Amino acid sequence: MAATGTELWDLLLRDESKGVLHHWDGEGFGHTPWRQVVREAHGMAAALRAAGVRPGTRVATVLTNSAHTVRGLLAVWLAGGAVASFPLPARGQAPEEYGSQLTRLTERLDAAMLLTDESILPLVPAGLTARFPVRTWTSLYGGGHLDPSPPGPQDIAFVQYSSGSTSLPKGCALTSRAIATHLHMLYDLADGRVGAETIVSWLPLSHDMGVFGTLLNAWAFDYDFVLSSPERFGMAPRTWFRDMSDFGATMSAGTNTALYLAARAQGRTPLPNPLALKVFVVGAERVDAATLETAMTAFGPSGLSRAAFMPAYGMAEATLAVASSPTGAHPVARSFDGAALRDGEIVEVAEDTPGATRLVSNGPPLPGVTVTTQEPGRVSQLLVSSPSLASGYLGDPARTAERFRDGVLHTGDLGFVHQGEVYFVGRADDLISVGGRNVYTSEIESAVEALGPVREGCSALVDVADGGISRLVLLLEPRRRSDDFHVIADRAATVAREKSGLALAECVFVERGHLPRTPSGKIQRFRCRAALGPDGGALKTLARIPLG
């Protein structure tokens, strides 16, 4: 059937589609051709239309990684609705807190209904269910037919709510034209071949990298798509590369932390089949050169090419990608004077220079995208213009006016452009000032984790107000509970002093898996800070070691 509407629907409703959705069901992979997914989505759309979803209707969703979710996403669009993607429960988030978040977001959205999988239903508060339609994707299956009327080019098609890594969730409103434009940008970036690629992903579909970078990217260009889940990856990180080996993946994407966990879990055990990866996007957080080397050690013998790595910078406000290393090029890492960076100056130095900070380039801006800085030639806020920018934050005109100005997105991220390439230094929340000195938390965290006794990607440096004075507190997950925490704390304090000249006030050792995180794995610094307060309560600590 031909699409009635915009180019996005032409991409998703291909008449001659041959690609297959391979979906993890908890026991193994099911296999559904895209054309069958589309056919079943039409039936679900008829049920949604009967339930009151019309063009312009907003539909609240919690997008889990199920095949039902994939069909339901298209079904909402075919019925004319705009999909609002709420965050999944974050790690360490109490069910009551998540339920309260769902209630606040749903009420602000003025949605027609809330759709999700059965696994999320127990987290929906009874008060919300009593006054608001809450349905599962599976309840929509059945016959019926409708003439599809998906959102038009300038209509809002998707509202991507942030995962809440630095603040409470906010909704980026994306038109169908912005989404289609960005999918073409991703296709060109990866030198894609219609109908001839395979993407493997475990990333949550509630996250922009998961839904746009993997699912819709594969669907739009008739790739095979292998959909695992965050839960499966969390339980067994080796499954990510095992799936790529089994299915002959040519593309994948993930975070720096996830790549490290997969490489560490794999060790030197060879994969069953050689890897065929040509595109491996690493983003969503600062990319560490040491992580790329760890991955090469683990997966190089199985055929992983260094040229497959594509460190990237992006954000939901730009649909997804802003800058990326080119396809087929080796990642670039340069060393800069660490003290100068903290003062906003960009001074490239030799790698072995004392105090040097090594940064991985995120590559040049994508074609059609412009990246500048608020203070040219200095480390400052990154400014982005792109043909796939969001229209703003739904229901938040004040924040929209602050961040989207004359077609330029003021990202709130800190970085610089050097030799035509973007360097992401950290989120605004990652820069803290203590005693008038700037401290990049990620730099200290990486150095502490490199000591060995601390789990990779499992430390968080926060500033805590104490009687008008800011104290630096380091939360961390130790590799072994049998280690001497006092020794680790002393070594961490030494690293912090060497990197920043500042003293840690305390080290808080947290039980494995209990640092607050988003579903995609980013540490929620604001929740770490809150957990240290008098009303924090939920943080499961092993020890608190005062320093100094």
Say how far residue 478 (Cα) sits from the centre of its chain: 25
Cα 474 from Cα 477, distance rounded (Å): 10
Residues 6 or more apart whose CB falls under 8 angstroms from that of 142 comprise 43, 44, 46, 47
Residues 144 and 59 in one domain: yes
CATH number at residue 455: 3.30.300.30
Residues 539 and 463 in one domain: yes
In the chain, the number of structural domains is 3
Q: Is pLDDT of 355 > 90?
A: no
Which of 39-53, 343-357, 418-432, 474-488 has the highest mean predicted lDDT (pLDDT)?
39-53
Task: Report the share of the chain in percent with pLDDT over 70.
Answer: 91
Residues 115 and 87 in one domain: yes
pLDDT band of 373, cuts 50, 70, 90: very high
CATH number at residue 182: 3.40.50.12780
Cα 357 from Cα 42, distance rounded (Å): 53
pLDDT for 4:
32
pLDDT digits (tens, 9 = 90+) for 503-543: 888 888 988 888 887 665 677 776 777 677 655 556 788 88
pLDDT for 481:
87
Residues 195 and 89 in one domain: yes
Residues 445 and 532 in one domain: yes
pLDDT for 168:
58
Q: Is pLDDT of 467 > 60?
A: no
Residues 108 and 214 in one domain: yes
The tokens for 170 are: 């906010």
pLDDT for 539:
74
pLDDT digits (tens, 9 = 90+) for 54-85: 999 999 999 999 999 999 999 999 999 999 99
What average pLDDT does range 435-454 have in this prediction? 76
Give the count of beta carbons closer than 10 Å to the beta carbon of residue 472.
Answer: 23
Which residue would you say has higher pLDDT here, 127 or 530? 127
Lay out the sheet containing 541-546: strands in order across. Answer: 454-466, 469-478, 506-510, 541-546
CATH number at residue 351: 2.30.38.10
In-domain check, residue 456:
yes
Final residue belonging to a domain, choices 174, 205, 235: 235
Cα 173 from Cα 155, distance rounded (Å): 10
Residues 6 or more apart whose CB falls under 8 angstroms from that of 37 comprise 21, 67, 70, 71, 74
Residues 411 and 473 in one domain: no
CA proximity to 414, closest of 255, 254, 286: 286
pLDDT for 465:
62
What average pLDDT does range 397-416 have in this prediction? 92
CA proximity to 164, closest of 107, 92, 111: 92
In-domain check, residue 310:
no
pLDDT digits (tens, 9 = 90+) for 277-296: 999 999 888 888 988 999 99
What average pLDDT does range 436-458 have in this prediction? 78
Final residue belonging to a domain, choices 211, 235, 259: 235
pLDDT for 246:
97
The tokens for 327 are: 């396809």
- Does residue 407 come out as left (phi exceeding 0), alpha (psi in the -120 to 50 range) or beta? left
In-domain check, residue 192:
yes
Cα 400 from Cα 412, distance rounded (Å): 13
What average pLDDT does range 254-281 have in this prediction? 91
Residues 422 and 445 in one domain: no
Residues 6 or more apart whose CB falls under 8 angstroms from that of 20 comprise 31, 32, 33, 34, 224, 225
Q: Is pLDDT of 237 > 60?
A: yes
In-domain check, residue 240:
no
Q: Is pLDDT of 255 > 70?
A: yes
Cα 325 from Cα 283, distance rounded (Å): 11
pLDDT for 165:
44
What average pLDDT does range 309-326 have in this prediction? 95
Lay out the sheet containing 356-360: strands in order across. Answer: 348-349, 333-337, 356-360
Q: Which residues are paired to 438 by β-bridges?
A: 433
Q: How many CA atoms lie within 13 A of 378 on its CB side?
A: 10
pLDDT digits (tens, 9 = 90+) for 5-14: 348 999 999 8
Final residue belonging to a domain, choices 235, 262, 296: 235
In-domain check, residue 272:
no
Sign, CA dihedral 252-257-260-265, equals: negative
CA proximity to 214, closest of 23, 435, 17: 23
Q: Which domain holds residue 179?
A: 7-235
What average pLDDT does range 228-257 have in this prediction? 94
DSSP-assigned states of every residue in 73-84: HHHHHHTTPEEE
In-domain check, residue 266:
no
Q: Is pLDDT of 166 > 50?
A: no
pLDDT band of 92, cuts 50, 70, 90: low
Q: 161: part of which helix (H) or strand (E)?
A: strand 156-161
Q: Which residues are paired to 545 by β-bridges?
A: 507
Cα 510 from Cα 525, distance rounded (Å): 14
Cα 350 from Cα 359, distance rounded (Å): 12
What average pLDDT does range 237-241 have in this prediction? 96
- Does residue 288 come out as left (phi exceeding 0), alpha (psi in the -120 to 50 range) or beta? beta
Task: Report the share of the chain in percent with pLDDT over 90.
Answer: 58
Give the count of beta carbons closer than 10 Å to the beta carbon of residue 512.
Answer: 14
Q: How many CA atoms lie within 13 A of 349 on its CB side?
A: 17
In-domain check, residue 11:
yes
CA proximity to 57, closest of 41, 40, 45: 45
Residues 477 and 380 in one domain: no
Mean pLDDT of the chain: 88
Which of 92-96, 207-211, 343-347, 367-371 has the highest mean predicted lDDT (pLDDT)?
367-371
Residues 108 and 230 in one domain: yes
Residues 6 or more apart whose CB falls under 8 angstroms from that of 3 comprise 9, 10, 12, 13, 148, 150
Cα 546 from Cα 142, distance rounded (Å): 61
Q: Is pLDDT of 501 > 70?
A: no
Contact 516, 93 (CB under 8 A): yes
In-domain check, residue 225:
yes
Residues 454 and 422 in one domain: no
Contact 478, 509 (CB under 8 A): yes
pLDDT for 498:
74
What average pLDDT does range 480-502 have in this prediction? 84
Residues 409 and 472 in one domain: no
Query: Phi and psi (nearest 5°) for 181?
Result: -60, -45
